[in-house]
Every structure is written in C-alpha cells, then in structure tokens.
Chain A
Amino acid sequence: MPPAAPVEPPAPAGAGGAAAAAPVPRRPRVRPELLLYLNVLVVASCGLVYELLAGTLGSYLLGDSVTQFSLVIGLYLSAMGVGAWLSRHVDGNLARRFVDVELAVALIGGLSAPVLFLAFGQVDNFQLVLLAFVFVIGTLVGLELPLLMRLLEDQVTFKDLVSRVLTFDYLGALAAALVFPLVLVPRLGLVRTSLVIGLGNAAVGLWGTWILAAQLRRPTGARVRAGVVIAILVAGLGYADRFTSWAEDRMYADDVVYAKTSAYQRIVVTRSRAGFQLFLNGNLQFASADEYRYHEALVHPAMVSAAVAGHPPRRVLILGGGDGLALREVLAHPGVEQVTLVDLDPAMTHLARTFPALVTLNHGSMTDPRVRVVNDDAMVWLEDAPGGWDVAIVDFPDPNTLALGKLYSRRFYQLLATKVAPDAAVAVQATSPLFARRSYWCVMATMRAAGWQVQPYHVAVPSFGEWGFALAMRHEFAPPRTVPAVPLRFLDGAALAAMFQFAADMTPVPVDVNQLDNQILVRYYEDEWRRWQ
C-alpha cells in the first residue's frame, strides 16, 4: 500500500466534530495511521463475520434461512447506523474509547456463537436474543470506523481519509465474505470461528494500546483489560471442542417452535408445512403428518390380542411415550379404566400436557382422569410396580446408549413378564427391521429368551421409514385378525394382515440375546445406523 503523505493541513471540521480544531503536534518517529488502516481491514472483516455468524446461527437453529439472513443483515446495518450516530456523542479520550469499543466487540462478538447456542436451550424467545446480539454488535461495530476516522483526521486530508478508510473497509468485507464460508466454518465450525474472530478484535484493541500509546493516558490499564478479554476467549477455545459436537446436534431443517434442554435430554419441536415434529436429542420421535400410522400400529394389535385372549383390557401400562400419542390410542378403547404412563423426563410429559399443538394432537390424553403419569427410570420403577396389567405398551427411544440399552435387556423383559396379567399382550417398539435388521431381530430374540411368545410386525411410517414392533404374550397366540371399533385412519383388516408379513430384505438374521452385561443390542444398533448416516 502506498504510504499516506500527510502534507496538507488538517481538514476543517466535518462530520468529525469539534475535537479536530486543535492541531496535534507531529510525531516524526512513527506513522501510526498506516497501522490503523490495517486495523480498519481487520475490524471490517471481523464485523462482517459476526453478521454472517448470526445469520448462519439463526438459520441453523430456527430454520428459514431467507428470513433469518434478511432480518440479521437489515438489523445489523441499521445498528451500525445507530453506532455511527452515537459516535458524535463520544468525546474525551478518543484513543481510549476506540480501544474500549474494540475490546467490547471482541468480548461480545467473540462469545456470540457459544452464548447463542447456550441460550437456545434456556430461553423461550430465542429470536429476540439473537436479534439483541446482532443489534449490540452492530452498534459497537458502527462506532469503530467513525472513531478511527476521527483519530486519523488530523493527520490526513479528509479526501484521503474517506477514500482509504472505506477502501480498507470494503476490502475487509470481501475478505470476510470469502474466508467465512470457505475456511472458517468448514475448518473451525461456528463456535471456534466466533472465538477466533473475537481474538482478532481483541488483538486490534491490544495493538492499539501501543499505536495510540501517546494518546492513551494510562495504556497499562487498557492492556490489562485486553489481556483479560484475550484470556476469556482463549479459555473459550479450550472448551470449544466439547461445545461444538454438542451444538451440532441442534440443527434442524424447519422452524423450531419449542426447544428445551431438560435434565435428561434436548427436546425440540419444529414446524413445517406438513405439520410439526418432535425431536429428542436430535432424533425424530414423531411427525404429526404420519404419527397415526406408528401409534395405531403400536397400540391396537396388543389391545385386540389381550381382548381375544381374555377380556377387553382395563388396566394399561405405557412405558416411555411421554408425548401422549400412544396414550390417545389406548384411551380410544372405552373399556380402559386405568392407565399408568412412565416416562423418565418430567419436561417431556409437561410438554405433552401443555404445548397447544401437542395437546391438540394427543387429544388432551395426558390430562384424562383415567391416567396417572410417573416420571422415573422405567426399569427401576417396574421393580416396585404393582402387577396385573392387561396390556403394556413399551415405547422407548431407540437403544443408542447403554442407559437405554438396559430397557431392551432380557432382564427387563423378564421383569415385565412378572408385572402383567396371564393373558396380557405387550407391544414393544423395536427400531427398523430394514435399516437396523440385526437390532430388530435382537429385540425379538431377547424377548423370546425372557420367555415371551413373540409375533414380529412392522409398518411403513414415511417420516421414519419401515418401522418394527414386537407383539408378545406369555402363551402361544396368533396375530390378531380384527381391528378394534375405535376411530382409525390407517389400520384396517388388510393393513393389519400385511403388518405381520416380512419381505425378503427384513427376514430374521442370526443374533445374540441382549443382556445387561453384554449390551449387544447397543453395538448392533451403532453399527447398523452408522451405515445410514
């Protein structure tokens, strides 16, 4: 870059204000304005990266990228305007103000991505928090350039000043626009990018304490502050690893309308044109568009089998199923007098009781007077549970952790067998016989090893794919042939018969029994689903 030649006298006060009136003595040993232009480049790049980060985060977490980017860009630019306007009220030691603004941008911008990720789980109105961040960062960035220009204005002609500052500003923007998608996001991810860019601002601030040392009355204090900010950001980088993989689980294609991190899991509800979806730890639990296929298939064969073998079920146990949808199907049977639903997570059952879209979908089943909801570990609860259930519906998340694997163990099914009536029927969700064939047949083999007679069956649920269940009783039985006289959207005689037929690509494969001390099912499941991810 050609060095600036500050030969002309100071320009008359323009937008800069009164501070320019006093001539500043020459300091021939340095030409700090050169370095300050470089600062402009860095500051401009960093500013744009924060904007892109906020837009990307909004799209990732809330979906609808067009809206998110429009909102973020619009608000960010207008906030910069606010910052520029505010700059006329900033007087006194300009150098010190500039360093402080830099450090504030470094801290707030640098921590923006991790803080926003964290906030997503903790606050109700995430959009507002996101936009508040955008506004604050935009305002601070808007302050940067006017302050810089005023610091430089007595050393350069106004013509040169505007030309150079804006040149570096736009160059910086170009650099950021290229580096952000090509290098920063793929190499560092959002959280580390945010922290690294914050370090860039902090470096400019720290560097400024030397360049502007003469104008800073007490540069040491500013350096200490800069050191603290840098230390915070570096510490953040130390934790970024752990944080990033956690954060990656939180990205959804559709609008997120509810998100909460409970003591047990991450609960997210998204809305799309086809309805809404529930995710636990990033795994789809149901989509309102086709959940009826899943829940009708899960519940009614067991209800019919129990009725055929003995009497219409009166006492029903649901393990898992905190969304209240299986419960809706159970309560459709008029003979049902008492249902106990055991779900680990109070946050999930609370959502099913209170979240309007879900209450509509589950027909308010969770507040039905026949229902008792228990929040506990199903296996521990079952140890002390009363017996005599006519039907048990077992609807746990897929066995993708060892803590869940115990709920698919032979011991668990043995325990369940001691808690049901002699003619009881049990239905167990058993993952996909197509995508996770060994896992599915492992559940069947494990139930058989626990003494159950098992009829495997499956159904197509478009959101999930081909999904499998076990229908089991304590004694020999044939698959049910009739559907119950309750309102049904999917199940009829033909569909019921087809569910018990397995095509060649889903037939049994040799598997071991899942026991507490081998947890073989979790291994099968990990191996099989890895192929599809």
Chain B
Amino acid sequence: MTAWSRRDFIAAVLGAPLAAACRGPGPALPAGELYTPGKAAGHRRLRDPGPGGDVRKPDVWRQAEVVVVGGGASGLAAAWQLGRRGVADVAVVELDDVVGGTAQAGAGDGFEYPWGAHYIVAPQAHQRHLIDLLGELGGLDGVDADGAPVVAEVLRCRAPEERLFYRGRWYDGLYPGAGADAEARAQLAAFERAVDGWVGWRDDAGRRAFTLPTSAATTAAEVTALDGLSMAAWLDARGLTSPRLRWWVDYACRDDYGLLAADTSAWAGLAYFAARRARPGAEAQPVVTWPGGNGALIAHLAGQLGDRVTPGVAVTRVAAVDGGVEVVGYHGERAVGWRARRAILAIPLHVARHVAPALGARAMPAVDRGAWAVANLHLTTRPRERIGDAPPAWDNVLHDSASLGYVVATHQTGRTTAGVAQGRDRGPTVFTWYYPFTGPAADARRDLDGAGRDEWAAAALADLTRAHPDLPGRVRRVDVTYWGHGMPRPRPGAVFDPALAALRAPLGPIHLAGTDLSGLALFEEALDHGVRAADEVVAALAVPA
C-alpha cells in the first residue's frame, strides 16, 4: 500500500507534465465513492486464508442439476444456453452482490452507464449464438442481401462514433490524420492493405485467419505463428514506423487488451482490425452499444434466470464426488453448499485454481490479468464545444493521454434497461472514463491499491480538463471503480498457449468457461465459452450415469 499525494498519483498514471499543472491542494473534488464489487469478499475467503481457501462444512445443502460458478458474461451465457437446450434446473452463484462481472452497468438519475465492457462488434453470419441473443433482445432488423444479420439501427452506434483530441482540437475518427505527410499516409495505406490481406484469407476449411469468436478462426500455423511475436515487432518487420500509425495501433491494443503494442500478441493486435471487417475493403462492422454498455446484455441474460441466480456467494471449493459435484462456499457468514450433476466454472483461472483441486493436476497457462480504473463523471451539462471542432461523439479519445478518454452514456437514442429513453444531445449526462494500466499487473495492483476514490477522480478530471477546460464546473459527482484483476491480456504466446487449449475440455464433472480461456476479454469470447461449456454439459447429461 502506498499513500499518494494527489499530484504524485496523477504523475504516476498520466505523466509529470499534467501533474505539474495540479499544484497545491487543488479545487475541492465533486462527491462520489469508490465502487469495489466483490473484492473484499473474494480476498477474505480465497486469498487471505491461504492454500485451500476457507472451507467449512455447509450449514445447508441445495440441489441443482447444474451449478454455474460465476455470474459474469460467460457464466450467464452458459446458463442461457442450458436453458435453451432444456436444462432448466440451474443455479448460478456470483461472488459480487450484483451479476455482470466486468460488464456491469451502473444506474442513477435516469441514466445508465458502464462500469466496464461497453460494446460488441455487430456479428457476422457465422456468429449464430450472438445473433440469437441479439434477436431475443429485439436487436435485429433482419438480414442483408448477403445473408448477414443487420443489427437494429438503434443499437448501432450513432454517428459520430468517435473523435480524437489531437494538438488542441477535436478531429473525426481515431487515426490522428491531421497534418499527416505523404509517408504517414502511405504507411497507413500499407497497413490497411496488410489487414485486408488477412481479411480475405481463408484456410482449406474455409475458416478466416481472424474472427470472433476466436474458436472459429483457423489453426493454420501460418496464422497462429503470429501469436509468437508482438504487434510492435510485426509492424517493425514491415517498416511501419509512422508515429501516427503506431499511436493508432497502440490505442487499439490499450483499448481492447490493456496492453501496449509492444506487449500485445501480433495475432491479437491484427484480430482487432481484421476480425471486424466482413471482407477486404469493407468498413468495419458497426459497433453495437447501449447506454449502460454491455450491462444491457447482462440484464437480459440475468433477467431470464430470475431467482436461480444467487449473488453474494464466495465459492471456496468445487470438487467431484460420487455421481456429481459439490460446490461449497459462503453466502455472507453462512456456509452453503450445492450438490449437482455438473458444474461450470466461469471464473478467472487464478480463482478457479484455488477452488477446484482437480485443476491442480493440470498445467496452468500463465494468464496475465490487467488492471483497470473506470470513473463515471456525472455532469450537470455538457462542456462547451469549440466552433470548427469535430462534434461530440460516443467515444472521445485524447491523443496525448495514457487514458482511453471517455464514452457518453446518453449518446445512444435507445432506452436504458430500466426503460428510460435516452439520446438528448444537451443537458445532464454521464461520461465514463477508462484507464488501462498497461504495465505489469502485479505492479499495478501493488502501486495503485493505495489510491482511493479521490486520487482517481482527480486524475480523471485532470485528464479530461485538457480537452474540456470548463469541465470541472460541470461535474457534480465522480464515482470510481478499480478492476485489480480486470481481464486477461493477450501477451505474445497467450492466445495459442497449449495449456489453455487443454482447459477447453471437461475435468470430470467440472467444465470451464470464461474469457481467460481465449486470452481475449471480449463478450464474444465469454459467450462462446459459456455456450461451449453448456453444450458439453448437455452432452454429458444425455449419457446415463
């Protein structure tokens, strides 16, 4: 634990020049609190008691055909798929007091805003589970001439999707193209051509080089070899050194993976660009988003389960027993247990290893989980915009910042999951500010655990005030969360790690799900593993015991 001065903290996360501007005690911060879902209970029951966790004989036993441990996107998707395949007797247990994991949404004052994951890419024709899910949400307008699904207009990100604060002005788009010379433009074109080359690539089975979910992509060595080098090395090898292009690629890696290009698997880096294009030369598939980000998907999945979800349960042990599996843990201070025929562990592998002894026998992949901070800034009204600048977009990115900028909760014109109509372009709103800690995760947790709400709120305000000088007077509340083990990061070698592949198969009555199994923390991956694990369970249940 470190005690931070506000200034030192800003210097640590955003750089010394910005901190220098924050001399003295600074203005009083707006109100707000630190939101720490599940962290205390998780550490108390699993980390602090040491090896084996805190296991006590349950006071009560419950029965279910299948227990899903973990109410994040992947666990809820597993339960959803089980339901679709006729397995209704499912119990979902979740550590936190609310479901959703890193796809949670917050709500208040008629707004909904993300606490984490906030968009998906519109599915292509092969992503049938995601298409089904969107269909249930009323999120499809049918299919286009090529048979590809058309996501409902209201769910596609309203234009303008993104803008970049670069050299003191806002520009459309994310690539910093203002003032680019011929060489920079040529390198951008060369990069686009290289990406398009992969977009059009197919293996003998007709599979794409890069696609979501990653399980649908080719396993040809020519492509998987890209996982062995870094995205930066891949660019270097092609002479793609333009600072503008490198900034853009770095941004993409930070945005989706919480890593710099130098630390990102080239496979993952290329997937960011190539997976979301249907064919060479096509524009990227639309971004699909809701006021509360992916919280809308969570609300739909959890809504179907009703009281079959039990939040606030710290599972400490999952073990195979005769004829099935036992799941043991704490619901508050009460020791509880479930007896089931099958269990799905849709939790991070570093937790799964603690609770499931069966995993001890397996080679564990070195999953690197990155740390993130997210601040929700509640505004009384929008900052003033400068004439001639690109207008406010959904995603507003600052070029010279270690943050990812902010998304605007009221940009989409649809409704919140609570049914409140959104889409006003004036007046109160919520900005969600993202900060990925791109350094080593252990360092992030050690250094930044000492930072509280005030430090992060000050950092978010200092960061955004560079682009919006009048912002501080318009912010009435800043809430902060901090994801210490936020999500897996695809460092070189992580995506095609053989140890990872081995875990995508049942361990007796225990099945694994969760994005750790892909190395990419994307909803599409969470859904894929949830559905796969559910399908494994259904197949196993069909075999008489």
Interface residues of A (CB under 8 A from B): 242, 245-246, 263-264, 377, 379-381, 383-384, 401-403, 405-406, 409-411, 414, 515-519
Contact = CB atoms under 8 A, between A and B. Distances in A.
B159 A383 contact: no
A516 B286 contact: no
Contacts of A402: 159-160, 391
B386 to A, nearest CB: 6
Contacts of B154: 411, 516
A379 B412 CA distance: 11
B159 A411 contact: no
**Interface residues of A, dominant DSSP:** helix
Contact of A517 (B156, B388, B421): B156
Interface residues of B, number: 21
Contacts of B157: 517
Q: Top 10 A-B pairs ranked by shortest CB distance?
A: A383-B421, A519-B159, A517-B156, A403-B425, A516-B158, A411-B153, A377-B424, A380-B421, A245-B387, A515-B153
B536 interface: no
Given A380-B421, A403-B425, A517-B159, 4 more contacts: A377-B424, A377-B425, A516-B156, A516-B159
B387 A515 contact: no
B413 interface: yes
Interface string B86-101: 0000000000000000
Contact of B161 (A405, A515, A517): A517
Given A377-B425, A379-B423, A402-B391, A411 B413 contact: yes
B474 to A, nearest CB: 13
B218 interface: no
Given A245-B388, A411-B154, A379 B159 contact: no
Interface string B158-179: 1111000000000000000000
A383 B291 CA distance: 15
B399 interface: no
Contacts of B391: 401-403
Given A406-B158, A517-B153, A246 B387 contact: yes
B156 A515 contact: yes
Contacts of A403: 391, 425
Nearest to B394: A517
A384 B423 CA distance: 13
A245 B153 CA distance: 35
A380 B156 contact: no
B57 interface: no
Contacts of B156: 515-517
Contact of A380 (B153, B160, B422): B422
A517 B158 contact: yes
20 contacts: A246-B387, A264-B426, A377-B423, A380-B422, A383-B421, A401-B391, A402-B159, A402-B391, A406-B158, A406-B413, A406-B423, A409-B153, A411-B413, A515-B156, A516-B156, A516-B159, A516-B413, A517-B157, A517-B158, A519-B159
A519 B160 CA distance: 8
Nearest to B286: A517
Contacts of A379: 413, 423
A246 B386 CA distance: 10
Nearest to A519: B159
Contact of B386 (A242, A401, A409, A516): A242
A270 to B, nearest CB: 23
A407 B417 CA distance: 23
A387 to B, nearest CB: 15
Nearest to B122: A517
Contacts of A406: 158, 413, 423
A379 B410 CA distance: 13
A263 B426 contact: yes
Contacts of A517: 153, 156-159, 161, 286
A358 to B, nearest CB: 24
Given A401-B391, A518-B159, A383 B415 contact: yes
Contacts of A405: 159
A129 B499 CA distance: 79
Contacts of B387: 242, 245-246
Residue of A242, A380, A403 with highest tally of chain B CB at under 10 A: A380
B203 to A, nearest CB: 32
A207 B271 CA distance: 66
A246 B387 CA distance: 7
Contacts of A518: 159
Nearest to A383: B421
A377 B422 CA distance: 10
Nearest to B384: A242
A414 B413 CA distance: 13
Nearest to A263: B426
A131 B156 CA distance: 54
Contacts of A263: 426
A401 to B, nearest CB: 7
A528 B263 CA distance: 47
A408 to B, nearest CB: 12
Nearest to A409: B153
Q: Which of B156, B157, B161 has the most CB of A within 10 A?
A: B156
Interface in B398-439: 413, 415, 421-426
Given A406-B423, A411-B154, A380 B159 contact: no
A410 B156 CA distance: 13
A516 B154 CA distance: 7
Given A515-B153, A516-B156, A380 B423 contact: yes
A453 B387 CA distance: 39
Interface string B80-124: 000000000000000000000000000000000000000000000
A409 B387 CA distance: 25
A263 B423 CA distance: 17
Nearest to B414: A383
A364 to B, nearest CB: 29
Contacts of A411: 153-154, 413
Contacts of B421: 380-381, 383-384
A286 B54 CA distance: 76
Given A406-B413, A517-B156, A380 B424 contact: yes
A411 B422 CA distance: 14
A518 B154 CA distance: 12
A448 to B, nearest CB: 15
Interface string B115-155: 00000000000000000000000000000000000000110
A263 B428 CA distance: 13
Nearest to B161: A517
Of the candidates B153, B154, B387, B424, the one having the most CB atoms from chain A within 10 angstroms of its own CB is B153
A182 B422 CA distance: 51
Contacts of A516: 153-154, 156, 158-159, 413
B411 to A, nearest CB: 10
